[in-house]
Structure 1
Amino acid sequence: MLFSLFFTIFASVCSKNKTAHLLFYYKIHNGLREISVIGGGSWATALVKILAENKIRVYWYLRRQLQVEAITREGRNPDYINFAKLDTDYIEASTDLDDVLSKCKHLLFVVPSAHLPAVCQQIDPQQMEGKIIISSIKGTVGPDNLLPSAYLAKSFSALQVNQAVIAGPCHAEEIAAGKKTYMTVCAGDQVLRTALGNALASNYIQICESQDLLGVEYAAIFKNVVGLVCGMAKGMNYGDNFIAVLVANAIHELETLLHALGLDGARIGSSSYLGDLFVTAYSQHSRNRTFGVLIGQGYNVEQTKDTMSMVAEGYTATKGLHDMAAARGLNLPILNTAYRILYNYMPVKTEFKLLERSMI
Structure 2
Amino acid sequence: MFNCGKIAIVGGGSWATAIAKIVVRHTHHIGWYMRRDDRIEDFKRLGHNPAYLMSVHFDVDEIYFSSDINKIVENYDTLVFVTPSPYLKSHLKKLKTRLHDKFVVTAIKGLISEDNLLCSEFFHQVYDVPYANIACIGGPSHAEEVALERLSYLTVGCADKVKAKAFTEILSSDFIKTKTSQDVVGIEYSSVLKNVYAIAAGICSGLKYGDNFQAVLMANAVQEMARFLSAVHPLERNVYDSVYLGDLLVTGYSNFSRNRTFGTMIGKGYSVKSAQIEMEMIAEGYFGTKCMKETNRHLHVNMPILDAVYNILYEKISPQVEIKLLTDSFR
Give TM-score, length-normalised by structure 2: 0.97
Which blocks of at least 5 consecutive residues in structure 2 are unaligned?
none
Name the residue aligned to 1:50: 22
In structure 1, distance between residues paired with 2:77 and 2:113: 26
Which blocks of at least 5 consecutive residues in structure 1 are unaligned?
1-24
Name the residue aligned to 2:62: 90
In structure 2, distance between residues paired with 1:263 and 1:287: 30
Name the residue aligned to 1:18: none
Name the residue aligned to 1:275: 246
Give, in angstroms, the shift of residue 248 of structure 1.
0.5
Name the residue aligned to 1:3: none
Name the residue aligned to 1:180: 151
Task: Indicate yes or no: 2:128 matched with 1:157.
Answer: yes
- The residue type equivalent to 1:134 in the other structure is V
In structure 2, distance between residues paired with 1:140 and 1:290: 20
Give, in angstroms, the shift of residue 133 of structure 1.
1.0
Name the residue aligned to 1:4: none
Give, in angstroms, the shift of residue 264 of structure 1.
3.6
In structure 1, distance between residues paired with 2:59 and 2:245: 33
| Identity across matched positions, percent | 39
Name the residue aligned to 2:95: 123
Following superposition, which runs of at least 4 residues in structure 1 exceed 4 angstroms of deviation? Answer: none
Which string of whole-angstrom CA distances, capped at 9 and with x for unpartnered residues, describes residues 213-241 of structure 1? 11111111100001100011111111000
Give, in angstroms, the shift of residue 319 of structure 1.
0.5
Name the residue aligned to 1:288: 259
- The residue type equivalent to 1:86 in the other structure is F
Name the residue aligned to 2:86: 114
Name the CA shift for 1:50/1:262 in 2 (closer, same or farther; >3 Å).
Answer: closer
In structure 2, distance between residues paired with 1:162 and 1:262: 20
Which string of whole-angstrom CA distances, capped at 9 and with x for unpartnered residues, describes residues 103-161 of structure 1? 1111111111111111222212x522311111111111132311011111111101111
In structure 2, distance between residues paired with 1:213 and 1:57: 27
- The residue type equivalent to 1:232 in the other structure is I
Name the residue aligned to 1:15: none
Q: For structure 1, which segment, 78-87 or 42-51, has the greater mean C-alpha deviation from structure 2 after superposition?
A: 78-87
Name the residue aligned to 1:340: 311
Name the CA shift for 1:56/1:186 in 2 (closer, same or farther; >3 Å).
Answer: farther
Q: Root-mean-square deviation (CA), in Å? A: 1.3
In structure 1, distance between residues paired with 2:233 and 2:242: 21
In structure 1, distance between residues paired with 2:282 and 2:48: 20
Name the residue aligned to 2:178: 207
2:107 pairs with one of 136, 142, 145: 136
Is the CA contact (8 Å cut-off) linking 1:250 and 1:334 kept in structure 2?
Answer: yes
Name the residue aligned to 1:17: none
In structure 1, distance between residues paired with 2:98 and 2:298: 36
Give, in angstroms, the shift of residue 56 of structure 1.
4.3
Give, in angstroms, the shift of residue 55 of structure 1.
2.5
SS of the equivalent of 2:288 reads helix
Name the CA shift for 1:148/1:56 in 2 (closer, same or farther; >3 Å).
Answer: farther
Give, in angstroms, the shift of residue 32 of structure 1.
2.9
- The residue type equivalent to 1:262 in the other structure is H
Give, in angstroms, the shift of residue 331 of structure 1.
2.4
Is the CA contact (8 Å cut-off) linking 1:169 and 1:184 kept in structure 2?
Answer: no
Give, in angstroms, the shift of residue 328 of structure 1.
1.7
Is the CA contact (8 Å cut-off) linking 2:161 and 2:180 kept in structure 1?
Answer: no
Is the CA contact (8 Å cut-off) linking 1:37 and 1:109 kept in structure 2?
Answer: yes
Is the CA contact (8 Å cut-off) linking 1:43 and 1:110 kept in structure 2?
Answer: yes
1:102 pairs with one of 68, 71, 74: 74
Pair member with larger Rg? 1
Name the residue aligned to 1:66: 38
Give, in angstroms, the shift of residue 53 of structure 1.
1.2
Name the residue aligned to 2:7: 35
In structure 1, distance between residues paired with 2:57 and 2:233: 43
- The residue type equivalent to 1:305 in the other structure is Q
- The residue type equivalent to 2:67 in the other structure is T
SS of the equivalent of 2:27 reads coil
Task: Indicate yes or no: 2:272 matched with 1:301.
Answer: yes
Give, in angstroms, the shift of residue 95 of structure 1.
1.1
In structure 2, distance between residues paired with 1:87 and 1:175: 18
- The residue type equivalent to 1:308 in the other structure is M
Give TM-score, length-normalised by structure 1: 0.89
Give, in angstroms, the shift of residue 190 of structure 1.
2.2
Is the CA contact (8 Å cut-off) linking 1:52 and 1:87 kept in structure 2?
Answer: no
In structure 1, distance between residues paired with 2:16 and 2:223: 31
Q: For structure 1, which segment, 169-178 or 264-273, has the greater mean C-alpha deviation from structure 2 after superposition?
A: 264-273
